[in-house]
């Protein structure tokens, strides 16, 4: 994933991370499980945004939205990223694409011409142009970030309350 240019990550809250050594193991597990859950939810939202915003066959883009979860000591991270799709960054951020040749992944390209006829070609010339950013990843992060923060907060609070109830009852 290190070579990929397009990624979104979910991290433990900085304040929470600073105090995590004092957190009991069961609460630490809740945090880890919630980061895993929200990272997968973010992946689903990115895929949904791609389908909704590009409104055409985007199999390569959709199928290359990946998740990576890492845990190093007290640090817990979830990454959602796209790799192996050269046009992912320009679709996300927008920009100018230069004229270029489009070649098939298989033996031949197949597409519908403006006339409505089905066309087969060994390659086509794309004249280039301005692409408007679709922001499928940035908007997913903006939508998920408050949910993740609130979700972690409430899960930890609930776990602490349960611990208190158990200690007072016993």
Output the pLDDT for position 13. Answer: 55
Domain 6-94+132-169 maps to which CATH number in 2.60.40, 1.10.10, 3.30.300, 3.40.50? Answer: 3.30.300
Exposed, middle or buried: residue 134 (CB in 10 Å: 0-12, 13-18, 19+)?
buried
- pTM as predicted: 0.72
Q: Is the pLDDT of residue 6 over 60?
A: no
Output the pLDDT for position 118. Answer: 94
Do the Cβ atoms of 84 and 97 come closer than 8 Å? no
In order, the DSSP letters of 63-89 are: HTEEEEEEEETTEEEEEEEE-S-TTHH
Across residues 131-144, what is the average pLDDT?
92
Indicate the domain borders of the chain. 6-94+132-169, 95-130
Across residues 122-146, what is the average pLDDT?
92
pLDDT tens string 83-116: 888 889 999 999 998 999 999 888 999 988 889 9
């Amino acid at each position: 994933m290190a070579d990929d240019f397009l990624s979104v990550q979910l991290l433990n809250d900085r304040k929470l991370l600073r105090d995590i050594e004092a957190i009991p193991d069961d609460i630490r597990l809740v945090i880890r499980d919630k980061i895993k859950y929200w990272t997968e939810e973010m992946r689903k939202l990115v895929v949904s945004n791609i389908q909704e915003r590009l409104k055409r066959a985007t199999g390569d883009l959709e199928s290359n939205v990946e998740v990576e979860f890492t845990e190093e000591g007290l640090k817990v991270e979830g990454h959602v990223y796209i790799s192996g799709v050269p046009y992912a960054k320009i679709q996300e951020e927008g920009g100018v694409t230069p004229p270029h040749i489009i070649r098939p992944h298989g033996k031949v390209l197949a597409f519908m011409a403006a006339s409505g006829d089905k066309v087969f070609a060994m390659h086509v010339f794309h004249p280039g142009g301005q692409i408007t950013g679709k922001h499928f990843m940035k908007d997913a992060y903006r939508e998920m970030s408050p949910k993740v923060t609130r979700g972690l907060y409430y899960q930890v609070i609930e776990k602490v309350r349960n611990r208190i109830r158990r200690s007072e009852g016993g």
